[in-house]
Structure 1
C-alpha cells in the first residue's frame, strides 16, 4: 500500500491564488503604459507573473523603454493599484476552503512575493478570513523572493513545522519552483484567466 504523507500546515500565495488581483495588475499596467503611448506585450508579461516587485518593475522599464526610475514607477503606479484592489474578491471556493482548514485546526500561512505594504491592503478583501492566517509574509521580509525557497522556509519556521510537511498552494511557476526547492509539497491552481493573453481580452 502506498505511503501517505501527512500535511501539518498549508501555505498560500495571495495574488491569483486567493484573490482575483492578477487581472487588476494587468489593467493597471495597461493604463499606465497607455500614458506613454505603449501597450503591454502578452509574452513578456506572462513571464513576469509571480516575480518580485523590483525585478518586475526593472523589467517593465527596460522592456518598454520608460524614461523613469524604479522608484518613480512605483510612486506613480501605487494609487492606481489601490483603486483597483478595492474591486478584488476572493476566488471561487476560497472562503469555504479557508473556513474548513481553520475550523479543523490546520495552521495556515500566507507567503507572497508582493511587498508587505501591498499585502496589508489586499488581504483586507478577505474580510474576517484574514484572521485564519497565523503567519503573513511578504517578499520584502526575506533575503530572496520566489523562485528561491526563502519565504516558504521562513513561513514553515514561524509556523513551527518542517517544510517537508507543508502543502503550498500557488498559481505561478516561480511559486511552485520555490515551494519544491523548500522541500514542501506544491499544488498549482489553474484559473481560466491565469494567462496574461487571456487577461487582455
Structure 2
C-alpha cells in the first residue's frame, strides 16, 4: 500500500517500486480507472519512466482514449527507443486515432527492432491496407504468415490484399487457410467479395 502521507520529496527507488506494485494490484483486480490514476501519479513524479508511460498509454488505448494514449506512447518510444513493444503499442494507438500513416511508421520500427515479432508485420499490413497500399500490405502479411502460420488474422488479411490486387486464385487459397484456422472468417470473406471487387484495369478505356 502506498503511504498517502509521503510527500514529493520522497522519490527513492522504493517509492517508485511501491507505485508500480500498486498499479499491478489494481490492474489485476480490474480496477482500471484507479490504475490509470496511479499511473498518472507515477509519470508525473517520474516523467522519465518509459515503462510507466507505456503502461498508461496501453490502459488508455484499451478504454477508447486513443488520442491521449498516443501522447504517452510517443513519450514511451522516445524514452525506450529500442523497445519493440512500445513501438507496437504506439502504432496501435495511432491507428485507432485515425492515423494509419503514423501507425505504419511505428509498426515498421517494431518490425525492425524485433523482426521475428509476427504481430509487428501483421499490424503493419493492417495500417498500409488502410491507406490503400495493398502491395505493401501483402508483403507485410506474407511475413506475418511465414513467422506465425496459425495467425488466422494475418492469413485473412493476406487473402484480402491478394484479392484487392486482382490475384483471385491465390486469394482463394489464402482464404481457405484462414478459414481452416477460424471458421468465423467465412462470413467476412463473403462480405469482402461482394463489396470490394477490384477494378479490372484492362477494361478501362484508354485515352485516344
TM, length-normalised to structure 1 = 0.28
Q: Which has the larger radius of gyration?
A: 2
Higher relative contact order (CA 8 A, sep 6+): 1
TM, length-normalised to structure 2 = 0.27
Higher strand share: 1
Higher helix share: 2
